Amino acid sequence: MRHDPLSAAVGEIARVEERYRRIIHQLRMVAYVMPRGGPLAYIGPEVEELLGYPREDWLGRPSFWRDILHPEDRERVLRASERADRTGEPWSAEYRLLTGDGRTVWLRDEAVLVEDEATGAPYWHGVLLDVTQQKATEQALRESETRYRALVESIPAIVYLAAPDDDRKSLYVSPQVEEILGYAQQEWLEQPDIFMEVLHPDDREPTLAAHDLHNETGEPWSMEYRLIAADGRVVWFHDEARLVRDEAGRPLFWQGVRLDITRQKRAEEELRRAHAELERRVRQRTAELEEANELLMLEVHERRRLERELREAERRYRTLVEQLPAVVYVWSVDPDRPELGYTSPQIEQLLGYSPEEWDAPHDELWLARLHPDDRDAVVDAARRSRELGDPFDMEFRYLARDGRVVWVHERAVLIERGPDGRPALFQGVMLDITARKEAEATARRAEERYRALAEQLPAIAYVWEPHLGPGPVGLVTYSSPQVERILGFTQEEWLPEPGQGLWESRIHPDDRARVLAAVERSATTGAPFDERYRLLAKDGRVVWILDKATLLSRDERGRPAVFHGVMLDVTEQVEAEERVRQAEQRYRTLIERVPAITYLEEVDPADPGRTRVVFVSPQVRQILGYAPEEFQEDPELAYRIVHPEDRGRVLAEERRTNRTGEPFNLTYRVVARDGSVRWIQTQATCVRDEAGRPRYWHGVALDVTALREGQEELAR
């Protein structure tokens, strides 16, 4: 008979599967199952919300996934998929799919090959994660970096970053170093002491001494010195740099710019020599009026020529200043000398005002265009510079003429004091940093969104850095607050000092060796970490954890550096699985000891009049001589062994009960493997699907040959 306890076990399995699906849905994942080398067997209902296609398209069209792959990703992904299916290695890929409404969605596809416990058949078990927002953020950051790099590398000067230590190692140098000095960018970066080597011998001692002093004080750096180019030329530089610090005030690096002033120095030197020569000749020829007058005329012409050259040099440098991708200005603090002030034309491109408007007296426009939230701080800093001569160095906002908010980094240094010793002239530069600020704001918002998402998941999200700290496990540098709800430990307790790993000490002793071996394997190779194990909670409870982590980045030596992971509390699932397993074991033992053949048949959806055997108890071997697996491998075997004289009657009754769902109860003959004829009495009951259609038959077949023969003998 079709037994109710077995139905209860199947129902328990269905409830466990439903809980697993709810966990997947809450994590915004799409789970799927696919036989190795075969079509998709299952995909979660979340796929309809994610991509807009009904599940029937996925399950009914074998080529559906291939058809909606983005054309630019299709060849790469299909090739990788075939390789994974061939080798059985874990599958991991990122690619784009085209949604039903025409959008493009980036997915991360992760799957592992698992053998079915009942049949041993290999199945791919995987999940699809929507990473579209992450890809968009990465693209925005790459575009921001490209714009910033183009800005730095187009300035007609050498931009550099240097370590704040005695070695003065270059951390970055712009490509202009090759154009100006003849050294390749890579060559300059690979030689830590190249700056000291190419310093002019006459400038080396004072320049290095000034370096040491500014490293100690952290004050901005401004100096002129000479460097020896690769071809032996002597190049004069004006060097401006400032020390960049982190949020804790610790020095990170010097950021500076070296401007080639060789021509300016050469012109100044020539002018000085001309003046000296002129004075010498005037004194020498004073007594000889005529010759002196003639010589004077010659010298006047020479002076005019030099002045023309000086004006030409000034014009060239003015052109250079006015073509820089920044606003260069001279700020005259002395109200009696406003004519010394200057603002380069880039102010109009930046804020929409001409230099004449911006340089109007009394600072009215400058003050009026300061952002209200920044005005007090900027005015205070400008007042300190005006009164004390301190450098002005701030990041703040202006309101442009068209109403835009423009972020600038403005830096000015004192270049001249008045006769009374008070600050008179400042020279400064104003850089547009709006794009960087917007990118930083976007990154902060993204981080806040992802942190909020991680801290709202019904699981513990964490960041693991395997090579940080002295221990073999490394350090967990972030853990979401759910650790307190699941394990009873606060975030502060769960994130200890290096060498005091709490997680390692809370692993169940029976699982520790296996889990630590998996940790070492992931930390060494970068392979995903995927383990189910037990942790001891703070109150002593045993909590089953499903722990999954994937590699995010590697360090400069190529070692796995940062993993992102999630720990799910699967205690209820494990306990439910154990209850189902025990129930299955009890009922399987009961079924396999009954002196009859028990079986489970599935109604063929394509032909409701036929059924397919999915389970036969071992007693079939004793009664009919066939192994149970033979009925699963050969769907027609159950029909072929029915006695030819009874086959029509059996098939007719099967079609009728499949159609009506009424109980099946029939006695008929079958031919055993050894050729003997056995009388079988079969009774079966129907399990229907949600639509009321017959889906499965649970049945029992009794060998009534002896009873039948006894009845016939009695009749005779």
Contact 408, 428 (CB under 8 A): no
Q: What is the dihedral of CA 410, 413, 417, 420, to 10 degrees?
A: 70
Residue 671 has pLDDT above 50, yes or no: yes
State both tokens at 148. Answer: 């910033």
Burial of 348 (0-12, 13-18, 19+ CB in 10 A): middle
> What mean pLDDT is reported for the chain?
82
pLDDT digits (tens, 9 = 90+) for 422-445: 888 888 888 899 988 888 887 777
Residue 294: per-residue pLDDT: 67
φ, ψ (nearest 5 deg) of residue 535: -120, 150
pLDDT bucket at 419, cuts 50 / 70 / 90 = confident
Can you state the angle between helices 4-26 and 571-593, rounded to 10 degrees?
160
Residue 690 has pLDDT above 50, yes or no: yes
pLDDT digits (tens, 9 = 90+) for 79-124: 999 998 899 899 899 999 999 888 999 998 999 888 877 788 898 8
The whole-model pTM stands at 0.35
Residue 26 has pLDDT above 70, yes or no: no
pLDDT bucket at 3, cuts 50 / 70 / 90 = very low
Residue 15 has pLDDT above 60, yes or no: no
Contact 151, 432 (CB under 8 A): no
Burial of 25 (0-12, 13-18, 19+ CB in 10 A): middle
Show the CA angle centred on residue 632, arms to residues 627 and 634, nearest 5°. Answer: 90
C-alpha to C-alpha distance for 614 and 294, rounded to whole angstroms: 122
Residue 77: per-residue pLDDT: 92
Question: Higher pLDDT residue, 303 or 640?
Answer: 640
pLDDT digits (tens, 9 = 90+) for 517-540: 999 999 999 999 999 999 999 999
C-alpha to C-alpha distance for 363 and 103, rounded to whole angstroms: 52
The HSE-up count of residue 704 (CA atoms within 13 Å, CB side) is: 16
DSSP string, 167-217: T--EEEE-THHHHHH---HHHHHH-TTHHHHHB-HHHHHHHHHHHHHHHHH
Instruction: Name beta bridge partners: 258.
Output: 158, 239
Nearest alpha carbon to residue 8 among 645, 579, 466, 516: 579
- In this structure, the chain runs to a length of 716
